[in-house]
A and B are shown apart, each in its own frame.
Chain A
């Protein structure tokens, strides 16, 4: 009643586009959540208002993280106080740091350079300045 062909076609087109969006997202999400088995673990801790890092060999760094090109890294993300969100925008690395939870993100840098690290979840006074940097270096070993 009141629906003619045009409306059905319209709804069908919309649904087709949505199915496409859903399926493609599913495929890509499945792919990117698959962490390489040989990824090195880096512990990342957020607290008001800076990031600290701990490498697999126990070395610690504050605000600046040094990594090697051509390796895969898996971040284990913690928070010591409120929620933060660990983000390296240039590498599409992003996951919340939630107190009481351990979250994960991974990437494999294939370019040397220096990239900003930031916090993407509001965490109070100096949230805007919770910045650090990632330095990707050539693997000389």
Chain B
């Protein structure tokens, strides 16, 4: 019962299935589709910024503002979350030795909310920016786009709560009694952690969205200073959800690396216990730092200090993951097939991004960096450099099991080099642009600012390289799923050893004697 092109199944059979691997495929494919759609928007943005003052590709700021808004929303909520859920759906039930997700129908419903939310976001094409700060989003943002944004995000938020409930119950309640929680593989642990975090964080945003809607309708004035409200309240609610949410995006990618790195190192993980510890720590301390996004809103000194300490306190947990990966590779015999290359590349960029994050948390540096391209560089090093690399590694890892065929190692290598090079060139350069003072979210800049022009052009060329590497990725996903060599399904990379979780995913109704 897999999506396997040698033995095709009618598409509707997968679409209306509630089986966890099928829902997992739907999530993953939807997520990747949105990745390419949002990627096209990114290419438009970067190409436009190559030519200051000329209005290339986008000739008015209204359209530009809509493009970066939809780019950001899509990448976060229609690519990052669905792909994590997709891989989670495929592997988590197997990792806890259960026949399916706890609530299969709920699972399918949660998935089908994604295309609906996505359609609202794309048809509305709002200009509120992904953070949609009040009072702009209330008193100035044009409807119906902004209202469609609210409903779209509402639906995606509910979907994410529903799928989190499912993961929590699957891991905690449906886990095989012989398997102690401590021994649950770390990818399943990462999904458990982020699901618990979602259940705590997301309702706050869901409430804020409704308040924003009633504010827009003129029924209330929670965030509207001209009706007695306060925009800062919105910022607190928003970041209370979305600082934890950045870890919700991150941890599944780290979990995927925990699956891949020992496998290709042919060696046990350095420490399961410290992986679990670091997930849980990050899950808790991640809630103590949201204010670092608000240093410049007029926050008093003491509050800033509290949030700075909260932010720094979460860093050792991230460091422990890096240590765990490196210590696992130490003394190993590593086969650098595509999944391993992307995983290791992702660790390197994870570290750089984390170092930048530490600088962000130093309060006085906010004068230089906040609201500039520095922040854009920081978040993209995480989102592309770490999460993107982890997900791509996992897609290559699952490819033979899903399609029954092997991708081309050569083209995967082209993709890897292009993606690594491109990521470094775009996002490191954006840090420098921030230091030169270039604000984020600007449609155009004065051509006489030569340092901005040069750095933007360097970044844009990097983005083209990155985009080209993804074109290679897309082409090889399509081509090799139909024309690739049949894979050795027990050991596609010739690593030796017998038991892979994905093998069980391929034969969901038993068959493999791994356990």
Interface residues of A (CB under 8 A from B): 1-3, 6-7, 10-11, 14-15, 17-18, 21-22, 24-26, 28-30, 32-33, 48, 81-83, 85, 87, 89-90, 92-96, 98-104, 116, 118-129, 131
Contacts and interface: CB of A to CB of B under 8 A. Distances in A.
B139 interface: yes
Interface of B: 61-62, 65, 127, 129, 133-136, 139-141, 225-226, 230-232, 270-274, 296-298, 301, 304-305, 308-309, 312-313, 315-316, 319-320, 323, 327, 358, 361-368, 370-372, 436-437, 439-446
B308 A22 contact: yes
B286 to A, nearest CB: 16
Contacts of A24: 362
A17 B367 CA distance: 22
Nearest to A129: B444
For chain A, what secondary structure do more than half of its interface residues adopt (helix, strand, loop), or is it mixed? mixed
Looking at A103, A118, A119, A120, the one whose CB has the most chain B CB atoms below 10 A away is A120
Q: Which interface residue of B135, B136, B141 has the most chain A CB atoms within 10 A?
A: B136
Contacts of A14: 315-316, 319
A15 B364 contact: no
B441 A99 contact: no
Contacts of A82: 133, 135-136, 139-140
Given A18-B316, A33-B301, A98-B297, A122 B364 contact: no
Contacts of B304: 29
A122 B140 contact: no
At the interface, is chain B mostly helix, strand, loop or mixed?
helix
Contact of B312 (A22, A116, A120, A131): A22
Nearest to B319: A14
A83 B136 contact: yes
Contact of A7 (B305, B313, B323, B445): B323
Contact of A2 (B62, B129, B272): B272
A3 B246 CA distance: 28
A1 B275 CA distance: 12
A29 to B, nearest CB: 5
A94 B140 contact: no
Contacts of A48: 140
Nearest to A101: B298
Contact of B327 (A7, A89, A120, A125): A7
25 contacts: A2-B271, A2-B272, A6-B323, A7-B271, A10-B319, A14-B315, A14-B316, A18-B358, A21-B362, A22-B308, A25-B364, A26-B305, A29-B305, A30-B301, A32-B364, A81-B139, A93-B367, A94-B368, A98-B232, A116-B437, A120-B371, A120-B372, A128-B441, A128-B442, A128-B445
A83 B271 contact: no
